[in-house]
Amino acid sequence: MKRNKRDRQKNLQVTIKENPFITDEELAEKFSVSVQTIRLDRLELSIPELRERIKHVAATKFEDEVRSLPIEEVIGEIIDIELDKTAISIFDVKPEHVFKRNHIARGHHLFAQANSLAVAVINDELALTAKANIHFIHSVKEGERVVAKAKVSNIDNEIGRTIVEVQSFVNNQLVCKGEFEMYRSGE
């Protein structure tokens, strides 16, 4: 439903405040306008683009929560975390992350996202990867967004190990999964 500019911009502010992770494309569809109109509205309202909103939310919300490594060392952007339980991060595949000849993401970037998320979810001052078993299921291309979801499946405080399962998706399609055995210091 079309609105006048003032109403649309007011509703745009409310919508982004409620969901800072909404894309310009989703906003354009919601307000029945072009993506360019949304971008101009955001510019007039001094609302940053999605990537900057995600960084801001992650830096302010999770900076004090993540104990095992500095938030800026996480590969991808953490968008949700509950220590020793679950965590979610997103990673946008850019030209520097792919093979030049076919534009398919290099596996070590997907591994790095999953591994750093497995480290970040540990509620300890020190968490190191003791063992990882990862399976690449589907190729990821330049321009795609990878959503990694980590879940702690077992904590063994006696031996200082935690098992973290990570699944990575592109558009709800599983692209890789892994099980990480994490050493924790117990602090």
Do 12 and 72 belong together in one domain? Answer: no
Q: Residue 3's pLDDT band (boundaries 50, 70, 90)?
A: low
How high is the pLDDT of residue 65? Answer: 59
User: Rounded mean pLDDT of 107-135?
Assistant: 93
Q: Helix, strand or coil for residue 114?
A: helix
Confidence of residue 47 (pLDDT cuts 50, 70, 90): confident
| Phi, psi torsion values for 176, nearest 5 degrees | -160, 155
Residue 68 clears pLDDT 90, i.e. is over it? no
| Cα dihedral value 34, 40, 44, 50, nearest 10 | 90
The number of domains in the chain is 2
| Each residue's pLDDT tens digit, 72-107 | 677 888 888 888 999 999 999 999 999 999 999 999
Do 59 and 33 lie in one domain? The reply is no
Specify the pTM. 0.67
Q: How far apart are CA 98 and CA 81, in angstroms?
A: 28
Sign of CA dihedral 21, 22, 25, 28: negative
Average pLDDT over residues 45-64: 67
Per the CB < 8 A criterion, the answer to whether 119 and 129 are in contact is: yes
Predicted confidence at residue 52, as pLDDT, reads: 73
Q: Please, how many CA atoms are within 13 Å of residue 103, restricted to the half-sphere of its CB? A: 6
Same domain, 33 and 76: no
Check: CB of residue 76 under 8 Å from CB of residue 90. Answer: yes
- Residue 34: give the domain boundaries: 5-47
d(CA 149, CA 78): 10
Q: Are residues 64 and 24 in the same domain?
A: no
Whether 106 and 124 map to the same domain: the answer is: yes
Residue 50 has a pLDDT of 73
